[in-house]
Amino acid sequence: MAIGYYLTVGVFMGIFSILTISLNILTGYAKQVSLGHAAFFGIGAYTSAMLTTNYGLTFWQALPCVIIITAFIGTLLGLPSLRVSHDFLVLSTIGLNFIVGGVFRYFSFFGGSMGIIGVPPPRMFGSPLGNMGYFLLTLAFLILTILTSYYFSKTWGRLAMEAMGEDEIAAKSMGINVPKFKTYAFALSSAYAGIAGALWAHYVGSVFPGNFSFDRSVAILSMLVFGGMGTIRGALLGAFLLRLFPELFRFIQDYRMLVYGGILVVMIRFQPMGLLGKGSVLWNGLEWFARKIRGGPIQEGTT
């Protein structure tokens, strides 16, 4: 098969890795389960597509606007999370999919159900990016995402979010400003998702309301759960494997929602921390193996 096919698969893998890492901030760290991530993804894609086609901006000029707008809308849509407990947040995020999809579909300002076509590819060094160039661009954004979210995972912000996710009342009594960090989580997470959306829109060249449905939100969540919530390595592995399987085994394509659903049930039931999460069987084994090679003392029960 031509190299172009691998590059295309690679670009989508990269985009979904960015999405999964962004969901990891919200669901992995702050423990706010979101089934509306495709909505933020879609808002990013639509913003970028509209700015470039209707208002004549280039990809690079539109990108900062995309980040600002998605972060702003993410904050706005995250407001219900300040008032409701974990489980009912999920409902309002499911609703997000339908509301955002409905707005895109029913208002002619957003192109209606015909969507927006003719989104130009980004230009670099004076010429439009080809397949190879786009792959490298996606890779660059993915590495940037990994680095920034790794940096974030070493800051106070992540600790505060995890504390808040475990027990809100205890976190409050330790002096953590819960509403502030919840809003942060939503803003950060949706800004990353917006970047992924912009990358997607310019690669595919068109956006339709149906591209950002509830099914896609479920797919992103199951990638994260499969790989391991709360870790960047888990998010990467989950997105990588769940994008790879349908390509390797074509017949899975028909059953992919069944696979996503099944993964959510089985993983959570037997390995709630995912394949590579903290304390999972696989990760413990890897750590044990690494220590053995290094020759250091083997300690049981540490992670």
Considering only 114, 143, 144, 258, the residue that binds another protein (CB under 8 A) is: 258
- Site for another protein (CB under 8 A): which residue of 261, 281, 288, 298? 261
Here's the x/- map for another protein, 236-255, by CB under 8 A: it reads as -------------------x
Q: What are the residues facing 117 on neighbouring strands?
A: 206
At closest approach, how far in Å is the CB of 179 from another protein?
Answer: 13
Cβ atoms within 10 Å, residue 167: 12
Q: Is 187 in the site for another protein (CB under 8 A)?
A: no
CA distances from 171 to 30, 161, 278 (A): 12, 9, 21
Positions 142 through 181 that interact with another protein (CB under 8 A): 166
Closest CB to another protein among residues 256, 291: 256
The two structure tokens encoding residue 86: 């974990």
Q: Is 115 left (phi over 0), alpha (psi -120 to 50) or beta?
A: left
Q: Are 182 and 30 in contact (CB under 8 A)?
A: yes
| Nearest C-alpha neighbor of 134 from the set 48, 7, 5, 6 | 7
At its nearest, how many Å lie between another protein and the CB of residue 52?
28
C-alpha 119/C-alpha 105 separation (Å) is 18
Kind and range of the H or E run holding 174: none
* Nearest Cα residue to 89 out of 27, 2, 28, 143: 27
**Closer to another protein at the Cβ: 4 or 272?**
272
Per CB under 8 A, contacts with another protein among 78-107 are 79-80, 83-84, 86-88, 90-92, 94-96, 98-99, 102, 105-106
Can you give the binding site for another protein, defined by CB under 8 A?
A: 27, 31, 33, 35, 79-80, 83-84, 86-88, 90-92, 94-96, 98-99, 102, 105-106, 166, 214, 218, 221-222, 225, 255, 257-258, 260-265, 268-269, 272
